[in-house]
Amino acid sequence: MTRLFLKRMTALALCLLLLVFASSCAEDETGQQLETIKIGVATYRSDDTFVASLCEDLENLVKEKENETGKKIILNVVDGKNSQSNQNDQVDTFIAQSYNVICVNPVDRTVAAVIVDKAKRANIPVIFFNREPVEEDIRMWDKVYYVGTDAKESGILEGQLIIDALKADPGIDRNGDGKLQYVMLEGEQAHQDSLIRTEYSVKTITAANIQMEKLANDTASWQRSLGAAKMRSWIDLYGGGIEVVLSNNDDMALGAIDALKEADMLEGGPIVVGIDGTKAALQSILDGELYGSVVNDARKQAQAMLDIGCVLAAGENPQERLRVVNGQYVRVSHRVVTKENAQEELDELLSPTE
């Protein structure tokens, strides 16, 4: 073997290596991309109904994208179990394993800077979702994105549900005193959606000249069982005096319905509304229990995350490649659901991703 031959072989081997490992644009002679994309997803807790459905959508969309593009996409979803230190370790592991993109649903949205710092040092783009970090942290690096919704819009639409319901049935003001006596089930106190949904649902109703009288409010941390427990204690205190139950999400609203059923107060009882449009909530609307909800479109959010993730993994700029991306934020819009369109929403939710 001549030295020249050896040199050429080494060069060829190097080229091949580069072809296989180059993070994005490696192509074979048919023009097909060769690389595998590794996406790490760190959830704040995996037993959260909405977050779980978003992750399920993500898994389905990944399969579809693999078929479409012929690329291998490894999606690894991990559970932070509501502990920021767990989540930091999980992000460290994704970084150590050279993931191409990391999606983070932060446990504590006020400490996102720590995650951005680490990711930036490793040059791995980050997509935060569902729990919104402060803007300053997002702006730390141009490879940081946020995918979520506009919390104010969800609050306004929830308020609108009550306005429309009262128009259709003035008997919702059961004691006829011209005011709606209500209780408010709130999500986690530190979550942007809790504070904003609470504020704007009530503001929207009062702006329509409907008087509201708050009987009670408290957090039930997004959870059905805690929502039921709160509602039980409010039923003990106010009984039939509760005319409206406003809930920051569907799970807690369904918890309130559980408690009303136990007390045999659902029929002819208060009107209950939620936010998310989960499968269980849509079913409850169809059963005539939950009055309505506001769809927090998990599939569209998952789609945006995947699209942004793939573009970033290819070393390209989402702002140039994707129409939905304007700056570092993607906000998916909400829509209301009542018994008029619950079946349609449910069919859509159950339909395969297209």
Give the shortest CB-174-to-Ca ion separation in angstroms.
6
**Residue 193 touches ligand GAL, criterion: CB under 6 A:** yes
**Residue 79 touches ligand GAL, criterion: CB under 6 A:** no
**Binding track over 86-125 against ligand GAL, x by CB under 6 A:** ----------------------------------------
Give the C-alpha distances (Å, rounded to integers) separating 190 from 81, 96, 219, 252, 311. 17, 30, 10, 17, 32
Give the shortest CB-180-to-ligand GAL separation in angstroms.
23
**Residue 200 touches ligand GAL, criterion: CB under 6 A:** no
**Residue 211 touches Ca ion, criterion: CB under 5 A:** no
130 vs 198 by CB, closer to ligand GAL = 130
Give the C-alpha distances (Å, rounded to integers) separating 245 from 72, 200, 270, 277, 319. 46, 15, 7, 16, 41
Q: What ranges in 45-171 are assigned the alpha helix state H? A: 49-69, 84-96, 112-122, 135-138, 151-168
**Residue 50 touches ligand GAL, criterion: CB under 6 A:** yes
Which of ligand GAL, Ca ion, none interacts with 100 (beta carbon under 5 to 8 A by kind)?
none
Which of Ca ion, ligand GAL, none interacts with 130 (beta carbon under 5 to 8 A by kind)?
ligand GAL
Which of Ca ion, ligand GAL, none interacts with 275 (beta carbon under 5 to 8 A by kind)?
ligand GAL
Give the shortest CB-61-to-Ca ion separation in angstroms.
46
Nearest Cα to 187, choosing from 209, 154, 212?
Answer: 154
Contacts of 89 (CB under 8 A, 6+ apart): none
Rounded CA separation 345/18 (Å): 47
Give the one residue of 51, 184, 256, 282 binding ligand GAL; rule: CB under 6 A: 51
CB neighbours (10 Å) of residue 171? 10
**Residue 348 touches Ca ion, criterion: CB under 5 A:** no
Residues 156-195 that bind Ca ion (CB under 5 A): 173, 175, 177, 179
57 vs 193 by CB, closer to ligand GAL = 193
Collapsing DSSP to helix, strand or coil, 211 comes out as strand
Nearest Cα to 269, choosing from 279, 281, 280, 256?
Answer: 256
> Which two three-digit tokens encode residue 183?
């209780």
**Residue 222 touches ligand GAL, criterion: CB under 6 A:** yes
Residues 235-264 that bind ligand GAL (CB under 6 A): 249
Give the shortest CB-105-to-ligand GAL separation in angstroms.
7
Q: Is residue 147 within 8 Å of 307, Cβ to Cβ?
A: no
The residues that touch Ca ion, with contacts defined as CB under 5 A, are 173, 175, 177, 179
